[in-house]
Amino acid sequence: MKTVSLLGSTGSIGTQTLDVVEAFPDRFRVGVLAANRSWEALARQALKFRPDVVALGDPQFLPDLRQALIGSGIPIEAGEEGVLAVASRPEPDVVVSALVGVAGLKPTLAALQAGKPIALANKETLVVGGELVTGLARQKNCPLLPVDSEHSAIFQCLQGQPAGSLQRILLTASGGPFRLLPREELGAVTAEQALRHPTWSMGAKITIDSATLMNKGFEVLEAVHLFDVPADRIEVWVHPQSVIHSMVEFVDGSVLAQMGPPDMRTPIQYALGWPERLPRTWSALGLEACRHLTFEEPRTADFPCLSYAFEAGRIQGTMPAVLNAANEVAVARFLKHEIGFLDLPATIRACMDAHRAVSNPSLEDLEAADQEARERAGSLPAGIGGG
Ligand SMILES: NC(=O)c1ccc[n+]([C@@H]2O[C@H](COP(=O)([O-])OP(=O)(O)OC[C@H]3O[C@@H](n4cnc5c(N)ncnc54)[C@H](OP(=O)(O)O)[C@@H]3O)[C@@H](O)[C@H]2O)c1
C-alpha cells in the first residue's frame, strides 16, 4: 500500500490521480490533499478519501473549509506555509506535484527535502528551477517520475537502456486548436476558442499554453532536466492524432515510441505504480486510432513561443524563470480578455529582451527574476503583438 500525497488535488491532474487511487484501493491510499481556493471540491474529496491532512493555499476560504469538515477529525493547514508543511510530511511514499505554475516549485523542493519520490506533473517547476530540483533529487536519492504524457513516454522508452545510449528525443505535439489556422487569423482568436483543445482535456492554463506552443517549449526544457540531454538533441514533431506520446532515438539509429489513447490516467498510473505496471483500467488503444498517424514540422514563425523556450534553454540561469513568469501573467490576462492571442508571445519577447540573466541562480535569484518579469508583463499595453 503506497500513501499518496496529492498537491493540486482539485485540478485536472489532481482529480484524475484520485481516479487512479480509487481504481486500486489495495495499492494506494491518500495521505495529503492540497488545493488553493476550491474549498468545496477539497472538502468533498477529503470526506471521500479520508486523508491524514488537507491544505488550502488561499487562507481566505479557510473558515468555509473548516465548516465543511467540522466533525470529520481531518486536520487542516492553510496558506503557503500550510501547503509547504503538508508537502514535507513524513508518511507519504510518493508526492504528486500537480499544482499549476511556479507555485509548484517550493512545495516540490519541500517534498524532495523530506526525501520523497515525486510524481511530477507540474512542468513549470523544472522550467524555472530545473537545476535546483534535479540537484536536490540526486542528493536525496529521490526519483523524479514524469506524469506529463510525453515525458512518461520517454521515461518508459528509456527503462533498461544502458547509460549513454540516448541519441535524440522526438517530442510529439498535437499542434493545438490553431494548427491549421492561417497566420492572419491568429490575432482574432478568443480565449474561448483557445480553450477548445482538439485531443486533450486539461486545466485552462495548460490548454492556452498548448494553443501557443508554449506548452511544448516548456516540455523541451522539462526534458532537458529530466533526461539530462541538451535542447539541441530534442526535436518537436507535430503529431495531431496524439497517439504516439513521444519517441527516443538511440545511438544505433533504433527508435522506440510509446503509444496509447490520450488519457492522462495512464501516465499517472504508471508514475504511481512504478517500477511495476498495474493492469489497464482505462480505454485501450484501438486499430482505428492508428490507421493514419501523421507528422509535421511545428509552425515556429507563427507560434514563436516554442523558439523562445529553446532560446531560454540555451541562455539558462534566470531566463527560463522570466519566460515562465511572463507567460503566466500573459495567459491570465488573455483569459480575462485583457490582451489578444498575439500579445502572448509578444509579452514573453519583451520580458526576455529586458532581462539580464543571472547564471547558476539561487532560489532568491529565481524569485527576483520571476517578480521582475511579472511586473513588466502586467504593465504592457494590449496590442503589442499586433492582431
Ligand atoms: N491537465 C493535464 O492534462 C496536464 C498534462 C500534463 C501536464 N500537466 C501539468 O500539470 C500541472 C497541473 O495542471 P492542471 O491542468 O491539472 O491544472 P489545474 O486544473 O488548473 O489545477 C491546478 C491545481 O493546483 C491547485 N493550486 C494552484 N495554485 C495553488 C497554490 N498556490 N497552492 C495550492 N494549490 C494550488 C489548484 O487548486 P484550486 O482548484 O483551488 O485552484 C488545482 O488543484 C501543470 O503544471 C500542467 O502543466 C497537466
Enter the C-alpha cell of residue 372. 521582475
The H-or-E segment that residue 68 falls in is helix 62-68
β-pair type (166-173, 244-250): antiparallel
pLDDT band at 301 (very low <50, low <70, confident <90, very high): very high
Q: Cα–chain-centroid distance for residue 373?
A: 20
Q: What is the mean pLDDT of residues 286-313?
A: 97
Per residue in 19-70, pLDDT (tens digit) is 999 999 999 999 999 999 999 999 999 999 999 999 999 999 999 999 999 9
Per residue in 339-373, pLDDT (tens digit) is 999 999 999 999 999 999 999 999 999 999 999 99
Per residue in 164-215, pLDDT (tens digit) is 999 999 999 999 999 999 999 999 999 999 999 888 889 999 999 999 999 9
Query: Does the pLDDT of residue 387 top 80, yes or no?
Result: no
Other beta carbons less than 10 A from residue 49's beta carbon: 20
Could you tell which of 9, 10, 13, 133 is best to mutate to test the pocket of ligand 1, judged by most ligand atoms within 8 Å of the CB?
A: 13
Contacts 24+ apart (CB under 8 A), 99-104: 99/7, 99/8, 99/11, 99/34, 99/36, 100/8, 100/11, 100/124, 100/203, 100/205, 100/206, 101/205, 101/324, 101/328, 102/128, 102/321, 102/324, 102/325, 102/328, 102/370, 103/36, 103/57, 104/7, 104/8
State the chain's maximal CA–CA distance in angstroms: 62
Contact call for residues 154 and 144 (beta carbons, < 8 A): no
| Residues with C-beta less than 6 Å from any ligand 1 atom | 8-14, 34-38, 57, 83, 98-100, 103, 121-124, 148, 200, 202-203, 205-206, 264
Percent residues over pLDDT 70 in the chain: 100
Per residue in 210-228, pLDDT (tens digit) is 999 999 999 999 999 999 9
What b/e sequence results for 197-210 when a residue is b if at least 16 CB atoms lie within 10 Å of its CB, and e otherwise? bebbebbbbbbbbb
Compute the distance between CA of residue 225 and CA of residue 138 in angstroms, rounded to an integer: 12
Domains, the chain, in order of start with CATH, read 2-146 (3.40.50.720), 151-315 (no CATH)
Provide the pLDDT for residue 281: 87
How far apart are the CA of 95 and the centre of ligand 1, in A? 14
- Residue 306: what residue type? L
Burial status of residue 195 (CB atoms within 10 A of its CB: 0-12, 13-18, 19 or more) = middle
Alpha-carbon separation of residue 98 from 16, 39, 163, 241, 301 (angstroms):
11, 17, 29, 25, 31
How far apart are the CA of 184 and the centre of ligand 1, in A? 32
Contact call for residues 358 and 369 (beta carbons, < 8 A): yes
Enter the C-alpha cell of residue 12. 485536472
Quick check: pTM over 0.85?
A: yes
